[in-house]
Structure 1
C-alpha cells in the first residue's frame, strides 16, 4: 500500500485482470465482446443462402441498421474516480510557498485516502449466486479495493487545479468464499457525486485543522449548488484562474514576455500563477497566501460533541432539500447533500445558499436550524 506503480504492473492489473505482482489470474478473464463489424459479418454469414438477391439485400440492410443502432459492449476493467479540491484551495495552493503547498497536498491526499476507505466499507460489493428466473443474485462484501492514484496539478486550460484520479480495479476478492469476482458497478456509479462531495468535506476538515481557515458558501448561479470557498480568498482571484485558455492567451503571452525580459527564461507554471495572482491581488501572492494560512487553530468538534437533536434536524433538512430537487432519490443523493450541509462544520445553507451560523460546542442546547 502506498508504493509506486509501474506501467507493467498497471497493464497486468487493468489490462489483463492479473495480479500486478505475481501475474496470476484474478478470477475469470475479462469477457471479449464482438465489435460492430464482427456482429454484422456474423449475422450476414448466417442468412439463408436461398434468398434472392433482392431479399438478401433487404436483409443485409436491416442487419446493418440494427447493429449500427446497438451500442458495443466493452469489458469493464476498472473505474476512474476524480477527486478535486475546491477552486479557492487550488488557487491558494498554486501561489503559496513550498511548505504550505506540501501541507495542502497532504490534506488532499488524506481526504482521498479516507474516501477510498469509505468506499471499501460502504460502496464496494460484488454479486454471486446462480442467476434465477427473476434475475436475482446476492450482493456480497469484498475484502477491499485495489487502486492506484495519479496526481494532476492543472486544468487543460493551464489553470491551477489540484486533483487526483483514482483508478480502481474491477477485480475484488469476495469475503464469502475468497474468490475473485468483478465489482458490482451499480453502486460504484451511483455514488460518484456523493463521494466527490464527501472528499471536499473531509478535505475542508483537514485544511481547518492544519491552517485554521474558515469556509463560506458562495452563490454559483441559478439551479446550481452553492460552492464552498476558503474565507479570505477573493472571488476575483478564483475567477482569474477559472477562464478558458482562449480568453487568457493574450494576457498570458504578455506576462510571459514580461517575465522573459526580466529573467531571461520562460516561467514555470508556478511563476506564471504567482505573477497573475499578484496582479489581481495588488500584492505579493506568496506573502498573501502565508497570511491566509497563518491562523489560530480552532477548537474542533468530534461526532460525539454534536447533540442528537442537531443531528436529527440535519437529517430532516437533508431530506427536505433533496425532496425539493428530485422527484425520486436514493441513498447516495442523501449522502451528497449531507456532505454539502456539513461542509467545514457549518450548518446547512438556506434556500438562498447563504450558510447560517455555526453550532457552537459551548452552547450544547442551541441549534443552528431552529
Structure 2
C-alpha cells in the first residue's frame, strides 16, 4: 500500500516541476533509479533531451555532440563516483585488504577520472570547478590551476597525445612535468572545435570505463570510512574519555595538530594536501588527518573494519563508540583476573560477531546494547581461553579448566 502511494505521488508530479525543481536535487544515479519506478516517470526522464540538459548544466558539455547523452550520462555517473574515492595513507589495510585490486591501481584510475572530468569543460578555471555534478564534491580550484603531470601519464589519460608532441608544443625544453591547463589547450587546438574536443575525451572515458566500473565497490567503502571518521571526531569532541576507552593511546600522537572547528571534507583535496597544504585551511587538514586516524584505529578494532567493508551494520554510527565507552566503565569494575586484554578483545570482536550471529541477524543493524553485550561475552571468552592456556601449560602440574 505504501509503495503504491509513493508511485502515485511520483506520477502526479507535473513535467515542469520535474524539470525545474526535482531534477536539480538529484544525482544521475538517483535519476536512473527513478526511471525504474513507474512508466510515467520513465517517460518523463529517460530521454535524450533530459540528459542533454543535465550533461550541459553539470559537466558543461556542449548540447551539440552527436552522441547518446543517456549513454554518456551513465559513464559520467560511474566516473564521478570513482573519482571521489578517498585516498587515506592507511586505506590499503582497512579498505582493500585481500581484494584483487592493488590500492595503487585504484588511485591511478581515480586520478585518471579526475583528469578526464576536469578536462571536459573549456571554461576558465574559476568556473571549471563545477564540472562535477552538483550533488558531488567539487574539484579543488587549486588542483585545477596547479596540476602538473608527467607526459606519459597525460598520454595515458587523454586522447590523441604523444610524449613527443607534448614535449614539443608545451612548456620549455627539458621539462619532466607539464601543466594540465596547457596540455588541454593543445588538445583543443588539435581538435578544432569544442564538439570534437569533448567527443574525443568522452570516447576516451568510455574506453576506460570497464576498468573504472570494477572499482565501484571501493566507493561505498570509502564513503563509509569518511562517515565513520566524522562520527568518531564528533563523539571524541563530546566525550574526552573515548580515546582512552578505545585503547588507542599509542596512536594519539598521529592525531592532527590543527584543531577542527568545522568538518571540511572534499576528496579532491587529497591530491593537493601534501604539495599545496599551505593553501588549505586548518579544518581541511584536520579533517584529512581524522580520516587517516580512523583508518589506523580500524586496524585494531575489527568491528570498525567490518563496518567500513559493509559486512556489519549499526543502528547509528556512534553506537559502536558509545558501547566502547560503556564497556570501559564495566571493565574497570571487574576483578583484575577477570579483565580481558582489550587489544585482543577489540581485535577478536568482529570475528566473534560474525560467528555467533546468524546470517539473517548480520544483515540487521546492531544497536549499542547488542554491541555492549557482545563485548562482555567476547571478553569473558577471551579471559577463559587465556586462563585455560595458562593452566594447561607444561609447567603447571595439573590442568584445571575454568
Indicate the TM-score class for this superposition, using the shorter chain for normalisation: under 0.3
Flag the structure with higher strand content: 1
State the TM-score, normalizing by the size of structure 2.
0.23
| Higher relative contact order (Cα pairs below 8 Å, separated by 6+ residues) | 1
Flag the structure with higher helix content: 2
State the TM-score, normalizing by the size of structure 1.
0.25
